[in-house]
Amino acid sequence: MTLKEIAQRAGVSTATVSYVINNSGHISEETRKKVQDIIRQTGYRTNKLAGSLRKNRTGLIGILVEDITVWHTPYIIDGINRLADEKNCYTILSNLQMVRKIDNSFDKLTGFQKDIDKAVQTLLGLQVDGIIYIGMHDRLMDNVLRKAGKPVVYCYCYTADGEASSVRYDNEKAEYRITRNVIDRGHRRIALIGGYVTSEPARLRRKGFLKALQEAGITLPKSWDECGEYDFQKGKAAAIRILTGKDGGTKKDLLPRQERPTAMVAMNDEMALGVYNAAAELGLRIPEDLSVTGFDDAEFTQQLIPPLMTAQRPLHKMGYSALSLLLERIEDESEQVTNIIYPCRIIEGASVSDFRTGDSTVKDDRKTEENGT
Amino acid sequence: MTLKEIAQRAGVSTATVSYVINNSGHISEETRKKVQDIIRQTGYRTNKLAGSLRKNRTGLIGILVEDITVWHTPYIIDGINRLADEKNCYTILSNLQMVRKIDNSFDKLTGFQKDIDKAVQTLLGLQVDGIIYIGMHDRLMDNVLRKAGKPVVYCYCYTADGEASSVRYDNEKAEYRITRNVIDRGHRRIALIGGYVTSEPARLRRKGFLKALQEAGITLPKSWDECGEYDFQKGKAAAIRILTGKDGGTKKDLLPRQERPTAMVAMNDEMALGVYNAAAELGLRIPEDLSVTGFDDAEFTQQLIPPLMTAQRPLHKMGYSALSLLLERIEDESEQVTNIIYPCRIIEGASVSDFRTGDSTVKDDRKTEENGT
DNA sequence: ATGAAAGCGCTAACAA
DNA sequence: TTGTTAGCGCTTTCAT
């Protein structure tokens, strides 16, 4: 069933039918009703692609993801979908499947220009109006879509300022606020369990952590400045070293209270979980004997006992916002390049004790990120 | 740059250029080279949509997901992408975002026909060649895409036999094999921590569990047949009831050894984690004092100490296979409806002790699901 | 081996 | 208010 056939049945021209369908032009109520009835009867559905051919606008958005199986990606896509539904645009998903190709090494995240170019060419061949690129690690990267010649927004990664719009979250401030929170509860002896040194979030989170310490006039002993490479086991090992002064110690190796930190700031939730484990092995209670914080708001943090204090990344909102920026640029090519950095929400789990009140139980009003972006 | 312009520059007809691009027709080497050179020089890229209009075939596949943020969905999509890349077809993602709409209640998974119809109409309007529907819970459902009039494959859910193709995994056999494994290691006192009673996987897993018990001549005491609703906290509470005979017991409430199970089969990994917690609270070591199994192969199971015995669902393969079935039907409409059920891979974590050898440490050769589907 | 030309289903300028 | 008509960029039949 085509628009032409509808026109014939209704005894009007194709233009009239087109006007009715698109609410354009000036159509009499009578004609409109007649046409709509026939459309309903026949179950006619317009061929969007044919229209696009003429209009040179498809309403298609390319979502180019480095890897869809990486934890944050689907949440970002979900945010994109949310706005796409509102704006009647459609998403073509292109998945570079980098995890498989790089074998999980953070350092090989380059040299994919050929894969990317191919994916972009495909998307452009499908006449997408613009592209959102979702990174698998938050980082500064080449403007790999420079040649696209269509509006582009980077999400969960970014390029040199001014080159393209991007949407990120604020690593530094979030870690600062977490650390501040810990300090405000009376902690002065605080250790750090860091992520991959080459990773940008690790660098930023460290910066935020140190800033909070500095503001409070606290110094970080060298032996409390460990690296856990974002890994559970390594995080646990780091915690044990800090708490015992030895590699792989047990209960009896535990340092005297005044030589141990009262709190540990881990740069992600996995390592925080490692700290929980280390504490359990050493017979330390959380948070009475040791406070812990994480980062990322992994699902399991809600189920730990006690719940973990962590930072929730605004993933849904980042996706929503990325599409919003993209659509603006599609509407108006002259639109400014915009680089957005959203704050995280700090989830105040009960994993940090409060020395001021002596009460370690903290209100836990955690909700999942509001979808009402 | 259009095909027509290429033709002009090359001094040939548009037909010839089309032949060169598509390797069809009989073109002299000379002409071919000339055209190809010009294509390269100009950076011309063919407009796939325009071609589709004529061919009545787009190479577009609609992926209609109930919710992309549900754990298994991205892995299935990843499998689809894998084959899509090979076959040069493109995926349009439509996300029903059901989680938000049903507020996580398993029982409201119906009444979405309107949403689905709308999404399907949109996909059909974009001229997709077929649709893959990915469920958020494995279940029998209405053939909600009956009206699509295009090939459809259900994945991670299914409709009445013969109505449409589907791809699932074998809940019953996997739980059977897990339970067999536990029994084969010498366990006779085995408790069950079940999932939502209304959920089909729970029913099937239960069936597999009971079958293994029956074959071994083991009966399940009523008090060892608990329901944890797939939830961590409820799973933990169930474990405590089973181990102490009371709601919320502590170490001193622990039942005598001969009145406790030696193993607990939990129907998912979350609840298994609850069992780990319960055991820790009651001073029981895993697996020496209590063995545990899970289901689903959640990421954290690899990091538990000891690693959890669980069942890995063939998600990537399910996606790959769903697209494969779909493409067959697109090629040949007369193709049979096919319902595939893949087995799970049992991950032999060290969370189950072996009474035969006295050795509870089991080889742990876990790898992630092979991508080489 | 190559070209002319008729569409695919729709939109939009222009005419009536 | 409605109709005529010329495309959008490509494929494909039928001639040559």
Per the document, the length of chain A is 373
pLDDT in tens, A79-120: 999 999 999 999 999 999 999 988 766 667 777 899 999 999
Helix count (H) and strand count (E) of chain A?
12, 12
Which of these, A267, A156, A273, lies nearest to A204 by C-alpha position?
A267
Give me the residue spans of the domains in chain A: 3-46, 60-170+316-344, 171-312
- Selected from 3.30.1360.200, 3.30.56.10, 3.40.50.2300, 3.20.20.70, the CATH number assigned to the domain covering A171-312 reads 3.40.50.2300
Q: Which nucleotides of chain D have an atom under 7 angstroms from any protein CB? A: 1-13
Which residues on adjacent β-strands are paired with residue A168? A341
CB A318 within 8 A of CB A165: no
- Cβ neighbours of residue B278 closer than 8 Å, sequence gap 6 or more: B236, B237, B239, B240, B243
Model confidence at B28, pLDDT cuts 50, 70, 90, reads very high
Indicate the DSSP class of residue B307: P
CB proximity B12–strand C (7 Å threshold): yes
How near does any CA of chain A get to the CA of B52, in Å?
Answer: 9
Do A60-170+316-344 and A171-312 show the same overall fold? yes
pLDDT in tens, B166-206: 999 999 999 999 999 999 999 999 999 999 999 999 999 99
pLDDT score for A333: 86
| Lookup result for tokens 């504490």 | A279
Amino acid letter, residue B17: V
pLDDT in tens, A193-203: 999 999 999 99
Q: Chain-wide mean pLDDT for chain B?
A: 92
How near does any CA of chain B get to the CA of A178, in Å?
Answer: 24
CATH number, domain A60-170+316-344:
3.40.50.2300
What is the phi/psi pair of residue A44, to 5°? -65, 140
- Cβ neighbours of residue B284 closer than 8 Å, sequence gap 6 or more: B243, B254, B290
Q: Distance of CA A83 to CAs A327, A371, A372, B75, Å?
A: 10, 11, 11, 23
pLDDT in tens, B197-223: 999 999 999 999 999 999 999 999 999
Q: Which residue is nearest to nucleotide D8 (CA to C1')?
A: A54
The Å distance, CA of A15 to C1' of D5, is 10
Model confidence at B335, pLDDT cuts 50, 70, 90, reads confident
pTM, 2 dp? 0.94
The Å distance, CA of B20 to C1' of D16, is 20
Q: Distance of CA A288 to CAs A263, A347, A353, A355, Å?
A: 10, 19, 6, 10
Q: Chain-wide mean pLDDT for chain A?
A: 92
Q: What is the DSSP string of B139-189?
A: -B---TTGGG-S-EEEESSB-STTTSEEEEE-HHHHHHHHHHHHHHTT---
Q: Structure tokens of B145?
A: 């895409």
Q: Which residue is nearest to nucleotide D7 (CA to C1')?
A: A54
* Euclidean distance between CA atoms B98 and B104, whole angstroms: 8
Task: Give the chain B residue nearest A305 (alpha carbons).
Answer: B277
Q: Which residue is nearest to nucleotide C3 (CA to C1')?
A: B13
Task: Give the chain A residue nearest B89 (alpha carbons).
Answer: A122
How near does any CA of chain B get to the CA of A184, in Å?
Answer: 31
How near does any CA of chain B get to the CA of A188, in Å?
Answer: 30
pLDDT of residue A369 exceeding 60, the answer is no
The Å distance, CA of B255 to C1' of D2, is 87
pLDDT score for B300: 84
User: For the residues B2-15, what does the mean pLDDT come to?
Assistant: 95
Helix count (H) and strand count (E) of chain B?
12, 12
pLDDT score for A359: 52
pLDDT score for B106: 64
pLDDT in tens, A118-176: 999 999 999 999 999 999 999 999 999 998 999 999 999 999 988 999 999 999 999 99
* Euclidean distance between CA atoms B124 and A61, whole angstroms: 17
Q: Which residue is nearest to nucleotide D6 (CA to C1')?
A: A54
Could you say which of B45, B52, B273 has the minimum Cβ distance to residue A121? B45
Amino acid letter, residue A206: R
The Å distance, CA of B32 to C1' of D6, is 32
Among the ranges A3-7, A107-111, A247-251, which has the highest mean pLDDT value? A3-7
pLDDT score for A251: 82
* Euclidean distance between CA atoms B256 and B277, whole angstroms: 19
Name every chain B residue with its beta carbon within 8 A of the beta carbon of A270: 303
Name every chain B residue with its beta carbon within 8 A of the beta carbon of A90: 92, 94, 122, 126
Q: Which CATH class is domain A3-46?
A: mainly alpha
CB B238 within 8 A of CB B264: no
pLDDT score for B107: 67
Could you say which of A49, A69, A303 has the minimum Cβ distance to residue B53? A49
Virtual CA dihedral for B355, B357, B358, B363, nearest 10 degrees?
-100
Q: Which nucleotides of chain C have an atom under 7 angstroms from any protein CB? A: 1-13
Name every chain A residue with its beta carbon within 8 A of the beta carbon of B122: 90
Indicate the DSSP class of residue A255: P
Which nucleotide is closest to the Cα of B54 by its C1'? C8
Q: Which of A305, A364, A373 to mutate to test the interface with B (most CBs of B within 10 A)?
A: A305
How near does any CA of chain B get to the CA of A10, in Å?
Answer: 22
Model confidence at B360, pLDDT cuts 50, 70, 90, reads very low
- Give percent of chain A above pLDDT 70: 94
